[in-house]
Amino acid sequence: MDERTRLLKDAVRRTAPRRPVNPPIERATTLLNAKAETLRSNALGPGYGISGGQVHAVLREALSELEHAQTVFLAPTGLAAMTIAILAAVEAGDEVLVTDSVYWPTRRFCEHQLKRFGIAARFAPPRASAEELMALCTERTRLILMESPGSLTFEIQDTRAVADAARAKGIRTLVDNTWAAGVYLKPLDHGADISAQALSKYAGGHSDAFGGSIAVNDPKLAKRIDDVIEDFGWFVSPDDAWLVLRGLRTLAVRLPEHERSALKVAEWLQAQPEVVEVLYPALPSSPDHGLWKRDFTGASGLMGVELKPGSRQDAEALLDSLQLFGVGFSWGGFESLATWEDPQLTKRQHQPKRVGPLIRLHIGLEGVDDLIADLRQGLDRYGAATGLR
Ligand SMILES: Cc1ncc(COP(=O)(O)O)c(C=O)c1O
């Protein structure tokens, strides 16, 4: 079935003689019982509001369709989705191997919190092959964390090869699937054990709700994830779940529009004299293009742009000159955004080679020619300030 159908079909199921299309937002800590005898029984469904209501159940089901998963869990943020997934896969004394281009707060969790639990984290070059990753594993390695493409530098990993090689050694694999939004990559179909994503990005799609999802097929792993969520007391507000569900219904229609515009912007940028390289795997010039083409069915709207040499002030002046790009973190909403990212790269162990500042662009749903004109005037200023023009 077409992705657009799969994300909508459950919305019209005949579950009641008459009902609204969308589930109600039920705000509830307490769920009242008609009789004391059902107080501790699960027969009537969850006994406490923390387990979520109808909107959570409908969202989880729709996300299962999206990720081709048996079970999907919700988390209050994308970062929480990653940390829950990691904690479910490891024990004290274990080691996790993490791609160096991981979203940096995920890295921070590995370096700070995992360490406190006696779990070591090591960081691998983002373009390491499956064999190279296996060579970095020890007998303590229990989890490999991929992010494909990686944050800021957009390297693609060979999910299938890594998952197969890891499974043969009893190591689980987790993929941060936020960039592909669950639409353009199905990590579970490629053998990964867990696909997690920030729903705050494309699924929500409107820059107004936080959320995360953790998708799995293995019932044992599902039980461990369920336990982590319950034991740590995680909860997703019904308002946020409702907003994400609303966004999810149009995700498969919005994403191709982001892709069309982003590809046009990326191709255009690549030809500009102020630009060294556009980091976007859908570009045929990308070193990851072959893997991307094999495993992904499309590209979203987020890319990196390495500029010719210039100072921090030059890069900030470029951002300030843009009229159609907001300057702020996060991405995946309808709006175009731009950020200067050099400070985040310094946290990496394996420094990417580059000569100039790194800008991150999110290409939104505005008219693409307007975005290109805006970028052109910004690059004119950058070129003048840096003496390139
Ligand atoms: C790749 C990636 N994963 C996870 C997250 C975390 O999402 P959230 O902001 O909802 O915690 C982000 C946020 O920017 C991200 O870019």
Question: Is the pLDDT confidence value at 134 over 90?
Answer: yes
pLDDT at 389: 76
> Is 114 in the same domain as 170?
yes
Q: How far is the CA of 103 from the centre of ligand 1 (A)?
A: 7
pLDDT at 55: 97
Per the CB < 8 A criterion, the answer to whether 218 and 188 are in contact is no
pLDDT at 276: 98
Atom of ligand 1 nearest to the CA of 200: 10
pLDDT at 197: 98
Determine if ligand 1 sits within 6 Å of the CB of residue 154: no
Question: Is the pLDDT confidence value at 109 over 80?
Answer: yes
> Is 14 in the same domain as 107?
yes
Determine if ligand 1 sits within 6 Å of the CB of residue 197: no
Which of 228, 249, 270 lies at the terminal end of a domain, its last residue?
249
Distances, alpha carbon 176 to alpha carbons 48, 51, 106, 199, 219, in Å: 30, 24, 10, 11, 20
> Is 35 in the same domain as 152?
yes
Specify the CATH number for the domain of residue 362. 3.90.1150.10
Determine if ligand 1 sits within 6 Å of the CB of residue 178: yes
> Is 199 in the same domain as 277?
no
Atom of ligand 1 nearest to the CA of 331: 14
Distance CA 280, CA 288 (A): 9
> Is 185 in the same domain as 231?
yes
> Is 244 in the same domain as 109?
yes
Question: Is the pLDDT confidence value at 168 over 90?
Answer: yes
Residue closest to 118 by CA, chosen among 126, 110, 128, 108: 110
pLDDT at 277: 98
Determine if ligand 1 sits within 6 Å of the CB of residue 109: no
Determine if ligand 1 sits within 6 Å of the CB of residue 151: yes
Which of 145, 156, 179, 200 for mutating ligand 1's site (highest number of atoms within 8 Å of CB)? Answer: 200
pLDDT at 42: 87
Q: Whose CA is nearest to atom 2 of ligand 1?
A: 103
- What is the mean pLDDT of the segment spanning 266-281? 98
**Counted domains in the chain:** 2
How confident is residue 247, by pLDDT bands cut at 50, 70 and 90? very high
Q: How far is the CA of 79 from the centre of ligand 1 (A)?
A: 6
Specify the CATH number for the domain of residue 232. 3.40.640.10
Q: Where are the beta strands (DSSP E) in the chain?
A: 71-75, 95-99, 120-124, 141-147, 172-176, 194-198, 212-216, 275-279, 302-307, 326-327, 337-340, 358-362
Determine if ligand 1 sits within 6 Å of the CB of residue 55: no
> Is 235 in the same domain as 363?
no
Distance CA 100, CA 104 (A): 9
pLDDT at 37: 96
**pLDDT by residue (tens digit) across 346-369?**
989 998 889 999 999 999 999 999
- What is the mean pLDDT of the segment spanning 174-191? 98
Which of 197, 222, 249 lies at the terminal end of a domain, its last residue?
249
Q: Whose CA is nearest to atom 5 of ligand 1?
A: 78
Q: How many helices (H) and strands (E) does the chain have?
A: 14, 12
- What is the mean pLDDT of the segment spanning 155-179? 98
**pLDDT by residue (tens digit) across 309-348?**
999 999 999 999 999 999 999 999 999 999 999 999 998 9
pLDDT at 312: 95
What is the 3-state composition of the chain as percent helix, strand, coil, each rounded to the nearest 5? Answer: 40, 15, 45
> Is 225 in the same domain as 313?
no
Question: Is the pLDDT confidence value at 104 over 90?
Answer: yes
Distance CA 102, CA 362 (A): 18
Phi, psi of 242 (to 5 degrees): -65, -45
pLDDT at 321: 98
For 41, the domain range is: 3-249
Question: Is the pLDDT confidence value at 388 over 90?
Answer: no
> Is 186 in the same domain as 265?
no
Which of 249, 284, 312 lies at the terminal end of a domain, its last residue?
249
CA atoms within 13 A on the CB side of 10: 19
The rounded mean pLDDT for the chain is 97
- What is the mean pLDDT of the segment spanning 366-380? 98
Determine if ligand 1 sits within 6 Å of the CB of residue 200: yes
